Amino acid sequence: METLRWGVLGAARIAREQVLPAIRRSGLGEVVAVSSASGRARSYADELGIPRAYDGHEELLADADVDAVYIALPNSLHASWIVRAAQAGKHVLCEKPLVLGVRELDEVEAAAGAAGVYVAEAFMYRHHPQVTTVRELVARGEVGDLVAMQARLHFSLPRAGEPDIRLRSDLGGGSLLDLGCYPVDLFGSLTGTDPDDVAAVAHRDVEGGVDTRTAAVLRYGDVVASLDCSFDAPMQNSATLIGTRGSITLTDPFRSDLADGVGTVLVDTGETRRIQVAGDHYAEQVRAFTAAVADRTAGEGDTELTRRTARTLERIAQAAGLA
C-alpha cells in the first residue's frame, strides 16, 4: 500500500491525541497540513510538527500535496466539507457521525462517486481485533442462537465554561449522535440488517436543547436489542450478547484505548472463559482506510454499515422526539 499524505480539517483534540499519532504509527501515512477557521492552525502545526498550516479549509483542500483529509469538525459541518473535499479530489476519513441523516449521506455518496474518491466514517472500534473475535464466536454458535444484545456508553461531560459543541443543537450535538451511535453501529454490524422495530426515549438539556440521556429498544428479526447513553455518568462502556446457550460480554468494546488497547471478551456457557485481544484500533483504522483507497472493495462493508447506522440513528431520533 502507498503512503498517504494527510491534511487535517479542524484543530481538534481528538486529532491531536488520537488520530494524528495513529496515522504516524500506522506506517502508511504522513501528516502534511492542518487547517483551522479559529486561527489556531499555526500553533497547532508547530506543536505537532506539521509542516503546513492554513487559516481556511478551502486552502488546505487546494493543496496538491494532500491525498486524504481527516475531518474533525462539528457534526453539523461534516457533510458540507466532505462534499467539498471530494470535489477537490481528496479521500476522506470523517469523524462519526459521518452525517446528520440519510439525505446528507446521499449527497456525500453522490459527491464521492462523481469524484472517484473514498469516504469512510471514523468508527475506530470497528477495527479492533476483538470485534472479529466476537463475530467468529457468534458465527460458530458458541452461545447458541442470539436472543438479545445490550450495549451502553456513558461519560461525564463537564458543564462549566463555554458550552461544549456536543451540547449545542445547532452543531449537531447530543448523546445519541456522540455516544449512542456506537451501540447502533455494533448492532448493525453483528446482525447485518436494519431493525424491524424501534422505540426510544430521551432527556433533553434545557439550555442547549440536545439529548443528554437516550435509551432505545430495537428488534432485529428474532433478536431484541437495547442501548443507553448519556453525558451524565462516569465512563460506562460495555456490550453483552445473550444467546440460547450462554453469553458474550465485551468489557471495553468502544474505547479499548482506555484499557491499553486490550479488549476483554468473556464467554459464559456455564463456565466463564476470558479472551484478551490486544490491538491499536486507531492505527488499524488508518491501515484499513489506506487499503480501501487502493482497492475500494476492501471498504465496501464499512460503507454499507455506515448507511445502515445512519438510517437507524434517524429512526431512533424520530422515535425519541429528537427529529
Of 106, 171, 71, whose CA–CA distance to 310 is shortest? Answer: 106
Of 79, 88, 172, 151, whose CA–CA distance to 121 is shortest? Answer: 79
Q: Which one of 96, 128, 166, 213 is the catalytic residue? A: 96
Q: Which three cell numbers stand for residue 160?
A: 462549566
- 98 CB-near residues (< 8 Å, 6+ apart): 78, 79, 82, 105, 108, 119, 121, 306, 310
Compute the distance between CA of residue 168 and CA of residue 58 in angstroms, rounded to an integer: 25
- β-strand pairing of 91-95 with 68-71: parallel
Whether residue 90 lies in the annotated active site: no
Of 69, 78, 77, 134, whose CA–CA distance to 275 is shortest? Answer: 134
Residue pointed to by grid coordinates 491499553: 260
Active-site residues, by number, are 96
